[in-house]
Amino acid sequence: MAKITNNMIAVLLVIAIVVSGFSFLTISNIGKVKIKTTGGASTGTGTANVTIGQSTDIILIRSVTNFGTGALGGAIRTLTTQQDNWDTFRDGTEGNGTSGGDVWGTCDGTDTYCAFPFVVQNAGNVNVSINMSAAQAATDWIGTGGLAYFKGKNNETAACGIDFGALGEGSWTTLATSETVVCNSLDFSNSGSDEIRIHFNITVPSDATGSKGVMITVGAVAA
């Protein structure tokens, strides 16, 4: 067994004193901790504001109706975008309908042989009234005896239920130079009821020649 010298004892005593000192300080500090309690509670109120602007916006998904090229053969021709398909319009589902003899092509989904209606979508956040006007009267752009009509029709169920009846369409109306209402209240919801289409019925007199066309303006105002 190793001999314990006086120096070693001195070291051990110093360590013991230091440890005891820390213990004493720790215990003394705990005694000085103050605990505060309160039975009071506070409440507050706040306000969150958001402002949403009215958006009147429409999109012309399709804005061209082209009846193509055909021969009158000395007869009056009435050309219409086909009306006997009640399904939603997509390219190729509705074609060129005529009366008076000639059928100008078979619809293949292109403008070359198909006369498509316009398709209007309400892209805003309010119901809108859709109106339309032509840059010229029918007799000016088609010729003497020329006639031009339009008809609004639901492209999606009940899109314009206020105006359109059980068949989901309006009646043939003269395409005039003044604004004429197509649909009084086109729905704005995104649930498959915010699109209508605009069909055309054009009468071309027997002596008409050359290319015939007119610019049409489609507008919208909050309903």
74 or 135, higher pLDDT: 135
22-44 per-position pLDDT tens digit:
444 444 454 555 556 666 667 77
33 or 63, higher pLDDT: 63
Q: Residue 79 pairs with which residues in a beta bridge?
A: 98, 202
CB atoms within 10 A of CB 202: 23
139 contact partners, CB below 8 Å, separation of at least 6: 145, 146
Please tell me the least confidently modeled range out of 128-137, 173-182, 206-215. 206-215
- The pLDDT of residue 42: 73
CB atoms within 10 A of CB 142: 20
The Cα 104–Cα 66 span in angstroms is 11
Residue 13's H or E segment, with its range, is: helix 6-30
- For the chain, which residues make up each domain, given as ranges? 58-222
76-119 per-position pLDDT tens digit:
877 777 654 444 444 333 444 443 333 444 555 666 656 778 99
Judge if pTM exceeds 0.85.
no
56 or 109, higher pLDDT: 56
- The token duo for 177 is 């130079």
